[in-house]
Amino acid sequence: MSAPLVELAGIAKGFGQGEARVQALTDIHLSVSGGEVVGLRGPSGSGKSTLLNVIACILEPDAGVMRLAGETVWEGGWRIKDLRALRRTRIGFIFQFHNLLPFLDATDNVALAMTLAGTPLAEARRRARALLDHLDVGRRAHAMPAKLSGGEAQRVAIARALANRPAIILADEPTAALDSERARVVMALLRQVAREQGVAVLVVTHDEKIFDRFDRMVSLRDGRIEADQRTCAPA
Ligand SMILES: Nc1ncnc2c1ncn2[C@@H]1O[C@H](COP(=O)(O)OP(=O)(O)OP(=O)(O)O)[C@@H](O)[C@H]1O
Ligand SMILES: [Mg+2]
């Protein structure tokens, strides 16, 4: 396991003012290394999505220090000028529902992420095909999203998240819409990617059928980390 790619110290985030103020995150200390697959669980409203969005640099924290891939990204304010470029090149996202663009085929859904980051289209398509092959969904390379099964679409979404060789993958309930067999396949792929490419993977989940698939499980309650436990997931 390599150096921490996600490092949060004392991170806090609130929403609203005065009476309506909600303290969504309080004093979060969290570190995720390359190669690690960490689960994030907790009751509804405990701050899981807020935490993911802070790490994704979509929400600005109020306090603390956040370092991503060895760079200080937030400390008293954003420390990076081009947050969009940081998001595109360092972070891959996977959502509950695949969020593929309905008017592009599987290959172009993956290739688009690369062309947005500056890769020429022909090379992007070639690498997209290779990624889809690697995730065992290459035979669906020219299928439109509406024609993909849930498990196939989620594999295409993983390929898209990997498109720019991110250091960090963030997933918000990626298996919630899948049956247990497909959920296990998706988790196995995320573990494979973490191990092979040294990516730090953080997965929000309510899904008990995959709790044993994580290296560590972090439990949130009322915006605080209540437990951070190593699990005995198979290697
Ligand atoms: N944009 C927002 N404006 C105001 N309050 C918000 C906003 N986003 C989240 N909150 C509040 O912050 C708290 C944490 O919300 P969050 O969405 O992070 O919870 P969660 O753990 O992801 O819940 P769920 O399991 O239901 O997805 C909740 O009290 C929520 O109402
Ligand atoms: Mg949520």
With tokens 């990204």, the residue in question is: 73
Give the bridge partners for 13, in sequence order.
25
CB 44 near ligand 1, within 6 Å: yes
| pLDDT one-digit tens code per residue, 167-206 | 999 999 888 877 888 888 888 888 988 999 899 999 998 8
1 located within any domain: no
| Ligand 1 midpoint to CA 223 (Å) | 9
In single-letter form, the type of residue at position 176 comes to A
With tokens 């899948």, the residue in question is: 178
- Residues 108-111: contacts with CB under 8 Å, at least 24 apart: 109/145, 109/156, 109/160, 110/156, 110/159, 110/160, 110/163, 111/163
Among protein residues, the one with the nearest Cα to ligand 1's atom 7 is 15
Q: pLDDT band at residue 140, thresholds of 50, 70 and 90?
A: very high
The mean pLDDT of the chain is 92
162 located within any domain: yes
What's residue 40's pLDDT? 96
67 located within any domain: no
Q: pLDDT band at residue 234, thresholds of 50, 70 and 90?
A: low
What's residue 4's pLDDT? 94
| CA–CA dist 120, 210 (Å, integer) | 38
What's residue 233's pLDDT? 59
98 located within any domain: yes
| CA–CA dist 30, 204 (Å, integer) | 14
Give the tokens for residue 235. Answer: 């290697």
154 located within any domain: yes
What is the number of the ligand 1 atom nearest to the C-alpha of 53? Answer: 18
58: exposed, middle or buried (Cβ count in 10 Å: 0-12, 13-18, 19+): middle
Number of domains in the chain: 1
| Ligand 2 midpoint to CA 211 (Å) | 17
| pLDDT one-digit tens code per residue, 199-232 | 999 999 887 777 788 999 999 999 999 999 988 7
With tokens 């980051």, the residue in question is: 117
Among protein residues, the one with the nearest Cα to ligand 1's atom 5 is 15
6 located within any domain: no
Among protein residues, the one with the nearest Cα to ligand 1's atom 3 is 15
Q: What CATH number did the domain enclosing 161 receive?
A: 3.40.50.300
60 located within any domain: no
195 located within any domain: yes
Residue 115 lies in domain:
35-53+85-230
Q: Pick the residue with more confidence: 152 or 231? A: 152
* Whole-model pTM over 0.75: yes
**Of residues 145, 168, 153, 160, the one with CA closest to residue 111:** 160
CB 120 near ligand 1, within 6 Å: no
Percentage of residues of the chain with pLDDT beyond 70 = 97
